[in-house]
A and B are shown apart, each in its own frame.
Chain A
Amino acid sequence: MKSVLATLALTTALTLPGLAMARPVTLTAQLNNYGGDGAYLALYVTDPQGAYVGSLWMAGGKSKYYKHLTDWYRFTGGDTAQINGITGASVGAGRSLKISLDLADALFDAGYTLHIDAAVENMRESPNEIAVPLTTAGAGAAVSGRRYISNFTYDM
């Protein structure tokens, strides 16, 4: 019995720091009624120096269109390994995209920026449609997009 309790205490002690290193975040993007096909959206993070860190989500599954997400494409070269397992359907005009995920705690209040590139078939590309610093103070504050996204928020 004692050994079971000791094991339980040890595993709890090992698990807790891991949980503390991530926080649940909800990202919500409300799209405008721009009157076109579904929008391709690339959500990714850059570090304080502006260098690409990684992708959080790709809305739109056909890689042949990724070159129109120009900033994301410039960072990644269109490498689909960056978005395997985090890719879903494109988002229609007027719809909202809500993503729930556990983000690494180290990303907040450390100079990291969340970006969204947007593109719609037969319409203008919109790199850096959203660029919002990841801060605890900025959580819940709506940010306006440039062309296709009406507003974007991240909640913790």
Chain B
Amino acid sequence: MKKTLILLAASTAFTASVGLPARSATPKSLDSGASVVIAAPFKDAGGAPAIVLASDDKDHGWFRRLFDREDDDDDDDDGCDDDKRHGDDDDNCRGSARNPTPAGTVAPPKNGLFGTGTPPTVQVN
């Protein structure tokens, strides 16, 4: 019986230590006076509640957001490096909305120049 009580107490303590900070991050808990102290680390300097997401498609998770402020990534989501710091100058940057579709994957444009609509073939020597 004693053993069961000890286990119950330990699991309750563990749940409280993990669960309370997580709950405090929600807007509802920020509004309540009781959890303001626990929620304080999640507020920004202006006092507005900081929205903390587990993940989104722009950043790299909330640990990164909270503790790694230096953002040197190319975040335009096109899969391309926009500068030369990474040293690549190949033409492998495909599939982006901004770059044209490579030859062989779609038909040439219907601009009236290609008589039969046959795609050009290219050879570089």
Q: Which residues of A are in contact with B by a Cβ distance under 8 Å?
A: 18-19, 21-23, 37-38, 45, 53-58, 60-64, 80-92, 95-105, 107, 121
Contact = CB atoms under 8 A, between A and B. Distances in A.
B120 A83 contact: no
Contact of A97 (B94, B109, B124): B124
A80 B112 CA distance: 17
A100 B115 CA distance: 13
B101 A98 contact: no
Given A37-B89, A84-B109, A85-B105, A62 B120 contact: no
B63 interface: no
Contacts of A53: 111-113
B120 A99 contact: yes
B112 A81 contact: no
B125 A84 contact: no
Interface of B: 80, 82, 89, 91, 93-94, 98-109, 111-116, 118-125
A58 B100 contact: yes
Instruction: Indicate the member of A80, A86, A96 with the most B CB atoms within 10 Å.
Output: A86
Contacts of A38: 89
Nearest to B94: A61
A81 B100 CA distance: 7
A91 B91 CA distance: 11
Contacts, number: 121
B114 A104 contact: yes
Given A61-B93, A98-B125, A85 B115 contact: no
A92 B89 CA distance: 12
Nearest to B90: A89
A95 B124 contact: yes
11 contacts: A38-B89, A64-B98, A80-B101, A84-B100, A85-B119, A87-B100, A88-B103, A90-B91, A91-B124, A99-B120, A102-B118
Nearest to A20: B115
Nearest to B125: A96
A91 B124 CA distance: 7
B115 A86 contact: no
A37 to B, nearest CB: 6
Given A82-B109, A103-B114, A107-B113, A96 B102 contact: no
